[in-house]
Amino acid sequence: MSLIKALINPVTPFQQNAPILYCEDSKKCAFIDPGGDIDILLGVAKDNNLIPEKIFLTHGHADHAGAATELANLLSLRIEGPHQDDLFLLESLESQGKMFGMQAQNCLPDRWLEDGDEVKLGNETLKVIFCPGHTPGHIVFYHQESKLAVVGDVLFRGSIGRTDLPKGNHQDLLNSITQKLWPLGEEILFISGHGPVSTFGQERKDNAFVADSVINGS
């Protein structure tokens, strides 16, 4: 059985993880959330003999999407995601970048993604899960066979995404985590936009914001 593997490559001053997912069989890869430092990302792909195929975006913040257009143009790659509700963010990437001292280009994806959509990577298929809250158009990429989810800024080890940014919604974020992610299973390993990997089971045990004991008030 072929699996999806991940290489994590922190980029930008925000140390955004920018994982490269690749199909174990075909070596075709997708750059997820290339916020910047594309020379680093290209070097990792080359060093691991990977074949760039696509760019996937979880949401429209500059540290996640700021270099997507540049990378797509350089390698003639399709950009897939996020959900169309993040269009206002993708149209303002340049101004976001100036605000934080980053180079960023506005972005228009080749394909918007909806809850339940599927995306192809090499010989494998990932499921798209709509998880608004941090941004209104945030999505998660999930590969069931590999028990792997790339969750962007929805969930972190010990924490959750900010909702004090434009069109963020705290209750939507909690619902996304508890109603969309938890049902996937406690064994699922997730890669967040910042910080270390974890499992949904670990977060249900001791995450200060969404542990079962916190959500249930016990």
The Cα 15–Cα 20 span in angstroms is: 15
Mean pLDDT lowest among 21-30, 99-108, 147-156 = 99-108
Average pLDDT, the chain: 96
pLDDT in tens, 40-62: 999 999 999 999 999 999 999 99
Q: Of 194, 123, 185, give the one whose Cα is nearest residue 161.
A: 194
151 pLDDT exceeds 80?
yes
- Give residue 1's pLDDT band: very low, low, confident or very high (50, 70, 90): low
**pLDDT (mean) for 192-216:** 97
pLDDT in tens, 155-198: 999 999 999 999 999 999 999 999 999 999 999 999 999 999 99
> Quick one: fold of 4-215?
Metallo-beta-lactamase; Chain A (3.60.15)
pLDDT for res 218:
64
Domain boundaries, the chain: 4-215
